[in-house]
Amino acid sequence: MATLSPVGQRSEAVATPPMALPFLPACLPAPRNGVPVARSGSVAWGLVPLPQRAPRERTLALTAVGFPGLALDFEHERATVDSQVAEVELGRVGLAYLQAERGAGTPPPEQVAAVAEMLRQFDLARPQLARVELLGPVSLALQVVDEQEHPSAYSPSLREALAQHLVLRAAWLREQIAAYVGCTVICLDEPFLDALGSPFCPLDRDSGMDLLARSLADLPAPRGLCLAGTPDWASILALPVELICFDAYEHGAGLIRAASAVAGFLEAGGAIAWGLVPTDPAALAQERAETLAGRFESTVEYLAAAGNLGASRIRAAALISTSGGLAHLPPELATRAAALCGEVATHLRAKYQLER
């Protein structure tokens, strides 16, 4: 049960900054990985996460399937590319990318069927905004390996082609969704971005960040980026992106250290999806909405003070999300995480009078 502000407590005025999103986030719930459901009132999107029922629906498959020479091991979530087959076809991928060839990102029929199911859910709910996650170019190049188990990131031509394939797939997905949703945010999920700082990574930081920046720049706004771990916030917030999704449950303090960069991002209309709800089953079982809301409020106050930014501005640009994706969770835990997002959002929106 959400706790309302005590009677007589003065509420801070809600800032209304220019937003890159088609609505003011204002602490609305937005858990990762799910299907939209219709909701009453003006809530822009509601998601009930469902575990991805078939391997073809996983983010890696949705992103990479159809790439020349690619074979997917769904059991181990592993992708292998036949480099000889790929080399023959890389020119075709590059030409389709340069010409922005319509339909070039169409996946094989079994993946089209999975997308059709997603579109059916959109048709039922008619949400104002859809957030679709694809594996980002850095993580894609690190996860797709050749016959010798070498990551594709070692090959400049292969990693460029994978990034081009990603952009083409994103364009195809956006076109499919456009008939059902007012606005689509393609979010690039980069779970391995932290690896760029490792001496064993085949990509140095500059090359990896450049690859990510160019891929994001090729996507129409608004664009999103999903992060794990503790990112280099100054570099991340300088990217051409309007929505940042991060693990606020474990790594909220890192945002405070980059307060000035965060202030600039928000002033430019950016939004942040705070991953307050843990996706670790043990942590999820222990947490309650009031304690998670309190953690958010404390971080916001510190961030506001460090960045010389009003707390109301931070809340106005915030979405309440999960610390990671929910596809790996069993149905009851995924539903619990989604419900907890809604409870935290309800608590914050009532306390700060964000209801619209």
Q: What is the pLDDT of residues 6-44, one digit of tens each?
A: 222 233 444 455 667 888 899 999 888 754 443 433 334
Amino acid 168: pLDDT: 97
- Name the residue with higher pLDDT: 173 or 126: 173
pLDDT of residue 155: 94
pLDDT at 215 over 80: yes
The strands making up 144-145's β-sheet, listed across from edge to edge, are 70-73, 78-81, 144-145
Per-residue confidence at 268, pLDDT binned at 50, 70, 90? Answer: very high
Instruction: Enumerate long-range contacts of 234-238, CB under 8 Å, 24 or more apart.
Output: 234/258, 234/261, 235/209, 237/261, 237/262, 237/264, 237/265, 237/270
Quote the percentage of the chain above a pLDDT of 70. Answer: 87
| Residue pair 326/279 in contact by the 8 Å Cβ criterion | yes
pLDDT at residue 42, rounded to an integer: 35
pLDDT at residue 18, rounded to an integer: 63
Of 207, 354, 334, nearest in space to 293 by CA: 354
Q: Which two tokens stand for residue 279?
A: 């996706």
Tokens of 346: 């309800």
89 has a pLDDT exceeding 60: yes
Distance CA 188, CA 215 (A): 9
Mean pLDDT to the nearest integer, 129-156: 92
What 3-state class would DSSP assign to 214? Answer: helix
Q: Is the pLDDT of residue 179 over 90?
A: no
Query: For residue 291, what pLDDT band results from cuts at 50, 70 and 90?
Result: very high
| pLDDT for the residue numbered 52 | 45
The pLDDT score that the predictor gives to residue 172 is: 94
| Residue 356 scores a pLDDT above 70 | no
Nearest C-alpha neighbor of 296 from the set 327, 341, 242:
341
Q: What is the pLDDT of residue 7?
A: 27
Spatial CA neighbour of 248 closest among 117, 341, 177:
341
Confidence (pLDDT) at 140: 96
pLDDT of residue 281 exceeding 80: yes
Higher-scoring residue by pLDDT: 100, 121? 100
Asked if residue 298 has pLDDT above 50, the reply is yes
More confident residue, 173 or 11: 173
pLDDT at 245 > cutoff 90:
yes
Q: What is the mean pLDDT of residues 80-107?
A: 93
Per-residue model confidence (pLDDT) at position 45: 43
Domain ranges of the chain: 39-269
pLDDT band for 78, please (50, 70, 90 cuts). confident
- What is the mean predicted confidence (pLDDT) over 57-77? 85
pLDDT at residue 6, rounded to an integer: 26
Cα–Cα dist 78/80, whole Å: 7
Share of residues in the chain with pLDDT > 90 (%): 60
Q: Which secondary-structure segment (H or E) carries 134?
A: strand 129-135
Q: How far is Cα 137 from Cα 34, in angstroms, rounded to an integer? A: 22
Q: What is the mean pLDDT of the chain?
A: 85
Q: Is the pLDDT confidence value at 300 over 90?
A: yes
Pairing of strands 129-135, 183-190: parallel
Per-residue tokens: 286: 């222990």
Nearest C-alpha neighbor of 4 from the set 287, 290, 277: 290
Rounded to an integer, the average pLDDT of 150-168 is 96
pLDDT at 57: 53
